[in-house]
Structure 1
Amino acid sequence: MPDSKERYGTVSKWFHWLMGGLIIWQFLKLGDRISEGEHWIGQTLVPWHVSIGALLMVLIVLRIFWASGQLKQRPLHDPATAFVVKAGHLALYVGMLLLPITGLLTMIGNGYGLKVFGVQLVAKGPEIDWVATLGSAHSPLAWIMVFLVIGHIGMALLHHFVKRDDVLRRML
């Protein structure tokens, strides 16, 4: 089912919820920063961080192509807030694209190589300072993305429970 003026379609919903779940999983990596990874999350879920990031990079590219083909069918936004809504979604898309790219730059720039789901895609090698420097944007971008996602969830809940409109139901 494609997107319509009333609801998002099946493919859009799958992209939204699958990527949302994977992004929340990725945020568990921030727990390493807080507790040095000495907990069950750091030992069981975080080792998948690079692989899930690579998967998210593929998914965001596919999602951008899908979404660009659905623009005319997308639900309309309240004209009073349309600019803010579009800016917020654009920021989320930019974050979803830049995070895996900067993560990749971090891995390669620091000489770690790239191993995705057990397959070595880029061999370990020498450190490349300028690539690592670009990759150093990964952590600050992750924190910005946390706030964007919290804002996104907060606004969806505000629409559902306070404004009591159809915004959240469009994606359910």
Structure 2
Amino acid sequence: MDRVASPYTRTARRLHWLIVSLVFIQFITAFTMPDIGPNVVPGTLINLHLSFGLLILIVMAIRFIHRLRHPVPLEAAGTPPWENTVARVTHRIFYFILLVGPFLGWASASAHRLPVSLFGIIPLPAFAAPRARWALQAGDVHAWMMWALLVLIGLHVAAALYHHFIRHDNVLRRMLPRH
């Protein structure tokens, strides 16, 4: 593969792929852990899910700050305006879901009296009162947001592959790790 000039910094690319890895792990724990309900007993999978959610929040906050300090145009040369609009909106939705979603999950865990800590090392305070109605609803919103995230990831990957294999532009290559 030839070298491609990228407006993304090395840090931005590393944070992107770190988030990809963390979200992948998070979906695996989400699909394998028990449903969260009134009588759920915290276990390893739930604790891992909560910890990876917090880790995603931390890394996304770092990524967001980095993005503000190092803005990147999403537009690809020769791309129709509607595609550029979709790219900007999609990225904003990614940031919204990955920054707000963990707080909703944390609120839901608190409402279900599940202790939240970062891998059992750093305990965090409850984000909501036990059985708080808004926090229980936040859990439902969290679940729907994560389904939306899964769909968005599929569209994002499809768009990257479309740009690479059909349009033959550098949209995908500019985010790939360098050798």
When the two structures are superposed, what TM-score results if normalisation uses the length of structure 2? 0.78
Q: Does 1:70 align with 2:70?
A: yes
Q: CA deviation at 1:44?
A: 7.8
Q: Does 1:166 align with 2:170?
A: yes
Measured in 2, the distance between the counterparts of 1:13 and 1:127 equals: 40
What residue in structure 2 maps to residue 51 of structure 1?
51
Q: Does 1:128 align with 2:132?
A: yes
Q: Does 1:112 align with 2:85?
A: no
Q: CA deviation at 1:45?
A: 6.5
From 149, 152, 166, the counterpart of 1:148: 152
Q: CA deviation at 1:89?
A: 0.8
Measured in 1, the distance between the counterparts of 2:44 and 2:166 equals: 38
Cα deviation 1:101-148 (Å, max 9, x = unaligned): 11111111112131221133236x733232222232111111000000
What residue in structure 2 maps to residue 28 of structure 1?
28
Q: Is the 8 A contact 1:8 1:74 kept in 2?
A: no
Measured in 2, the distance between the counterparts of 1:44 and 1:162 equals: 44
**Percent of matched pairs sharing the same residue:** 28
Pairwise CA RMSD: 2.6
1:112–1:83 Cα change, 3 Å: same
Q: Is the 8 A contact 2:12 2:67 kept in 1?
A: yes
Which amino acid in structure 1 is aligned with residue 85 of structure 2? F
Query: Secondary structure at the residue paired with 1:115?
Result: strand
Q: Identify unmatched segments of 5+ residues in structure 1.
A: 37-42
Higher relative contact order (CA 8 A, sep 6+): 2
* Aligned residue-pair number: 160
Measured in 1, the distance between the counterparts of 2:113 and 2:132 equals: 7
1:99–1:86 Cα change, 3 Å: same
1:45–1:109 Cα change, 3 Å: closer
Q: Identify unmatched segments of 5+ residues in structure 2.
A: 36-42
1:149–1:105 Cα change, 3 Å: same
